[in-house]
Amino acid sequence: MAKIVFLQSAVNDIESARDWYDEKYPGLGESFLNVVVKAVETIQVSPKAFPIVIFYRFENSKPIQIHSCLHYMQNIHSILEQR
């Protein structure tokens, strides 16, 4: 199984999203984190098959780097251009 490395930008995205969900409904942020964990586990098992919702880089024999975690309704192109 491939090693996973979260870049700080991805950690920031995840924390912001967790906080946003918790503001909408207490405890929803924890549910969001559980979904992220499941997505990362899927990436570890099959890194070439995952849809682009979590942006990551996969190179053979190197750790998988998680770059961003964005909601599909966000302006993804604009956010990625800023990074």
**Whole-number mean pLDDT of the chain?**
81
Over the stretch 29-45, which tens digit does the pLDDT of each residue have? 999 999 999 988 888 88
- CA–CA gap between residue 41 and residue 14 (Å, rounded): 16
Class of residue 5 by CB neighbours under 10 A (exposed 0-12, middle 13-18, buried 19+): middle
Please give the model's pTM, rounded to 2 decimal places: 0.66
| CATH, domain range 4-82 | 3.30.2310
| Residue-range domain boundaries for the chain | 4-82
Q: Which residues of the chain have pLDDT under 70?
A: 49-53, 55, 70-80, 82-83
